[in-house]
Amino acid sequence: MDLLTPDLGLFIWNFIIFLLLLIILGKLAWKPILKSLSEREKGISDSLASAEKIKVEMAQMKSENEALLAKAREERAQMLKEARETKDKMINEAKELAKEEASRIITDARAAIETQKMAALTEVKNEVGNLVVEVAEKILRRELANKAEQESYIRTLSNEVKLN
């Protein structure tokens, strides 16, 4: 059983060595170890703060991007609306111009037709008048081949003209 119970001298030497080791470690190792631990703790807290800051910035950038996308969609919709309105306006203007041009062409054609009709009627009247004069002249020459008959016919016509 001697092996299981420690001797008092051994116990004291172990205790002295432990205290020396503790003092040596306290002077040489604990300060650098604690210093590196505090630096590491500070680095971790700084990294966590930086990560939180980046997270906030990312959320802000995401909301800004969403706002920009919404604005871009709105502008695109507005531009499409304006393009449709411009297209409809141009189509309506083209229709109006086409109607005006067609109306003008029809009016010009009617005027040209009326002018040609009047010219044709005048020409027909002139021709008819010339034909009537020629026919009347031929009839009168034939009927009034005699000079005495001509003179009596002229007197009769002059009397009729004075009576009217």
The per-residue pLDDT for range 119-143, each reduced to its tens digit, is 999 988 888 777 777 767 766 665 6
Name the stretches of the chain with pLDDT < 50.
Answer: 163-164
- Check if the beta carbon of residue 109 is closer than 8 Å to that of residue 102: no
Structure token digits, residue 69: 């996308």
Q: What is the pLDDT at residue 163?
A: 47
Q: What is the pLDDT at residue 135?
A: 67
Dihedral class, residue 146 (left if φ above 0, else alpha if ψ from -120 to 50, else beta): beta
Distance separating alpha carbons of residues 5 and 13, to the nearest angstrom: 15
Distances (CA, A) of 35 to 25, 30, 106: 14, 8, 103
Q: What is the pLDDT at residue 162?
A: 55
Q: What is the pLDDT at residue 8?
A: 83
Structure token digits, residue 57: 């910035």
Q: What is the pLDDT at residue 26?
A: 83
Distance separating alpha carbons of residues 163 and 155, to the nearest angstrom: 12
Mean pLDDT of all residues belonging to the chain: 85
Structure token digits, residue 62: 């995401």
Q: What is the pLDDT at residue 164?
A: 41
The pTM assigned to this predicted structure is: 0.41
